[in-house]
Amino acid sequence: MKRKPYIAMILLIASLPIFSSSANAGERENAEIAAAIKQLQAVKSALERAKKARTTEDFRRLYFDYENAFSDIKTIEKGLLQYLNPSRAEINTKENLYNLGGNYLKTRKRK
């Protein structure tokens, strides 16, 4: 009868690595999401530089829609930050979902 407490203790100790590895997985996930946010910020910076490099003499019919791209990046960042720092438990409804534009070509209006 005295062996039962030892068996329970052994089972508890054996299960600790499982719990700690799942906690580490959550930390790793958060670190990767934070890295993705930094990468999105780098993309924004690159797009800013590209936008500044665009010349006003460019008369192509199609050009890159920077504002739509910035809007989508902002939407993705907002979703990632909300996941990392939830204000409260939210139910996923259509109102809570974000839509991306996805179209980054714009047609120049003819004068």
Domain residue extents for the chain = 3-107
User: pLDDT tens, 88-102?
Assistant: 656 666 556 667 777
Number of Cβ within a 10 Å radius of residue 75:
14
pLDDT of 25 higher than 50: yes
Cβ atoms of 62 and 106 within 8 Å: the answer is: yes
Instruction: Pull the structure tokens for residue 96.
Output: 């809570």
pLDDT of 6 higher than 70: no
Q: Quick one: pLDDT band at residue 62, thresholds 50, 70, 90?
A: confident
Q: Letter for the amino acid at 56? A: T
Cβ atoms of 71 and 103 within 8 Å: the answer is: no
Read off the pLDDT of each residue in 22-27 and give the average, rounded to a whole number: 75
pLDDT of 7 higher than 80: no
Reported pTM: 0.65
